[in-house]
Copies of this chain bind each other. A is one copy, B any other.
Amino acid sequence: MKKQELEKVAGNGLINRRHLLGLGLGGAGMAVANTVLGQDLQIPDWSKAPGANASAYGSRSPHAENMMRMAGNPNPIYPGGGASRSPLQHLQGTITPNALHFERHHAGIPDIDPAQHKLVINGLVRQPLVFSYEDLLRYPMVSKIYFLECSGNSGAVLRQRDPDPNGTAQSLHGLVSCAEWTGIPLSTLLDEAGVLPEANWVAAVGADAASMGRSVPIGKAMDDSMVALFQNGEPVMPGQGYPMRLFNPGWEGNTSVKWLTQLKLTNESPHFRDETSKYTDTLPDRSSLKFTFPMGTKSLITSPSGQMSLNQRGIYRVTGIAWSGSGSIRRVEVSADGGRTWADALIDSHQSEKSLTRFSIPWEWDGGDAVLQSRATDSLGNVQPTRDSIIAEKGLITTYHNHCIQSWGVNSAGEVRNVYA
């Protein structure tokens, strides 16, 4: 086939998205003789005999079982403290399967019997209430696709002076996932209890052994917070708070208290242990930022990414995810020359508020060095910052809320590595 003239849209190989990938360039789509229904191809064994019967509960192909969360070793000092990270470099689209949604636990995963679990609303309300799981199933619910991100996600990219050469999309940024969450608007339950005028905060407490507590301003609670009972259609998994969790769309994950058992309306925040000892952003001038809730405008190239390798020159699909805790994703730009020139990526999915959005752009790798970056802009005009600008602003003492641009270096051997640029 004739080699097309490729329209360049930015430096170092970014090409117009109308170009079809593989068109005589990358070896994809090998030309073959036009025989009827491919009779020159060998019929594989799996076409020759019936396969397995339908089942009650599906499972993945053995060939796809390498897609696992990365979970740390059990913590002997801090039992149940830990996290598992989503395999972002292997996923496509925007939805994370429930079994691969990231986890972050402060005292492990309790095994809760929903028939014994209670949700209490008390404090500054006209009428304290207690709800069973069965009670809550009778309430109005809404279903929305939202990302969830740990406040500490991507922290290592700030914390480590030198870039981890083994870092992957999963190891560096895997504490973000996305699901369709179904739950009761928190405002519905609070209205039923009757919030008193002096109530400014909702103090939410989980039933795990950490008694994880977080304070949510009443404005958020009455806006889009929900008591989530279902995740991608089925009950939330134990690692996500079964039988119920608070869900604060767009906010740092720890505020979406799992195994939710109490909501106490208060005038002042109780300053829970976990929101003072953790999740406070200490600054170089000895001041601290507290209650820094929304996650920043952010994007990440998931392929090519750390520890992948390009086997030959040619056209690749550069793809990734973008999100904002404050709105929807309006634009994603990609650079192949470390941020000197940029081109608009194509948006390949929905662009819902506070959810992941999938982007891509074709890129022709010429066999030389390259630094791939992506930069998101949200519906409010917030633009994803560079690592240097975050460090200039906040220093290196805190590493929460890191939403800086990620750089993936490609060398002439085709190896892709985490770099700072």
Contact = CB atoms under 8 A, between A and B. Distances in A.
A17 B125 contact: no
A122 B29 CA distance: 12
Nearest to A183: B92
B182 A93 contact: yes
Interface in A94-109: 94-101, 103-105, 107-109
Interface string A113-132: 11011101011010111110
Contact of A105 (B54, B69, B264, B358): B54
A41 B207 CA distance: 12
B84 A54 contact: yes
Given A17-B140, A128-B33, A138-B315, A99 B57 contact: yes
Contacts of A51: 80, 105, 107-111, 208-209
Copies in the complex: 2
Contact of A98 (B54, B58, B120): B58
Contact of A47 (B179, B207, B243, B352): B207
A192 to B, nearest CB: 6
A31 B193 CA distance: 9
A74 B44 CA distance: 24
A305 interface: no
A188 B388 CA distance: 40
A52 B111 contact: yes
A300 B361 CA distance: 40
A69 B138 CA distance: 24
A317 B125 contact: no
A37 interface: yes
A346 B316 CA distance: 44
A34 interface: yes
A35 to B, nearest CB: 7
A322 to B, nearest CB: 13
A232 interface: yes
Interface string A186-217: 00110111000000000001011101000000
A286 interface: no
Given A47-B207, A234-B97, A22 B192 contact: yes
Interface in A19-46: 20-23, 26-38, 41, 44, 46
A135 interface: yes
5 contacts: A46-B111, A51-B109, A53-B74, A63-B242, A97-B97
